[in-house]
Amino acid sequence: MAEPELSYCAREVRRHDNDRFLTALFAPADRREDLFALYAFNLEVAKTREVVSEATLGLIRLQWWRESVEGVYAGQPRRHEVVQPLAAAVARHGLDRALLDRLIDAREADLEEGGQGSLDCLTNYADATGTPLVRLALRVLGVAEPLAHEVARHVAIAWALTGIVRAVPFHARNQWVMLPADLMAAEGVTETALFQGKPEPGLTRVAKAVADRAREHLAKARALRRSVPKTALPALLPATLADLYLGALAKAEHDPFAPRMLMPHPFRQARLAWAGMTGRW
């Protein structure tokens, strides 16, 4: 029997955010499309810097999405491949508009010149760009307990920080730095060398500092794991993947440009399957 055709949102998430696509497959069948709609929305706002040639155009694009969200809550969703499925998810689960607005607002930081000033600033950025999405996913899964949403915050920060370290080569190719400026200066890491793909040795120490902060948030999330309902699992599975990527980074001596870091992790599906069976993310 042929597999059912994926929706537009599911295809976009599978192609551009494959890790989250895999985690969504662990959700009940009647919740997956709403997760795909959320994740596709996040993709649309997150890629703003990549698809515009100047900051002003980026602001215009983000404003379009603000107006689209406003239309969703006014009962007049725009005819768009992501907006309409998002509107359906909002209607089914009573999703908090403020969380969607925060995801859009947070992406204005991507349009500013220069990276994050410090590790604390980068952590705040990870919180702003990641936490609302995981909390919305919990709502789709029917999880409203405040403690679960606190766990979601730690998982979101850890996942975002892990992604930032893994994306260093991609960002460098696009003349973009997300790493803490103060740590880069202290370790003698220059943007010029980074953009040339030949960074100074101090980059590994900067990457380790960011990775260690991610590990701290994973530990905080897991300290509360016993209090989180099993239904939250699909939203929290990025913690399992963060472990894999941080482990690979450690084996590569925290070099983001190491060949092993530029390839998909071969054990993603197996680790997710184990987490799904045991409920231990």
Domain parsing of the chain, residue ranges: 7-112, 114-267
pLDDT at 3: 54
CA distance 85 to 41: 9
Dihedral angle sign, alpha carbons of residues 189, 191, 192, 193: positive
Phi-psi map region of 65: left, alpha, beta (phi>0 left; psi -120 to 50 alpha)? alpha
| CB-based contact 40:12 (threshold 8 Å) | yes
| CB-based contact 242:257 (threshold 8 Å) | no
CA distance 9 to 276: 23
SS3 250: helix
Please give the CATH number for the structural domain made up of 114-267: 1.10.600.10
pLDDT at 115: 72
| CB-based contact 198:142 (threshold 8 Å) | no
| CB-based contact 170:163 (threshold 8 Å) | no
| CB-based contact 167:115 (threshold 8 Å) | no
CA distance 58 to 169: 22
Taking CA atoms, 96 is separated from 22, 41, 42, 74, 216, in Å, by 25, 14, 15, 13, 28
The encoded tokens of residue 246 equal 């941080």
CA distance 162 to 10: 23
Closest CA to 137 of 20, 218, 47, 6: 20
SS3 272: helix
Match 């003698």 to its residue by tokens: 188
pLDDT at 262: 79
Phi-psi map region of 190: left, alpha, beta (phi>0 left; psi -120 to 50 alpha)? beta
pLDDT at 2: 46
Per-residue pLDDT of the chain (281 residues; tens, 9 = 90+): 445 689 999 999 999 999 999 999 999 999 999 999 999 999 999 999 999 989 999 999 999 999 999 999 999 999 999 999 999 999 999 999 999 999 999 999 999 877 789 999 999 999 999 999 999 999 999 999 999 999 999 999 999 999 999 999 999 999 999 999 999 999 999 999 999 989 999 999 999 999 999 999 999 999 999 989 999 999 999 999 999 999 999 999 999 999 888 777 888 999 999 999 999 99
pLDDT at 1: 43
CA distance 19 to 46: 15
Vertex 217 angle, CA 211 and 219, to 5°: 105
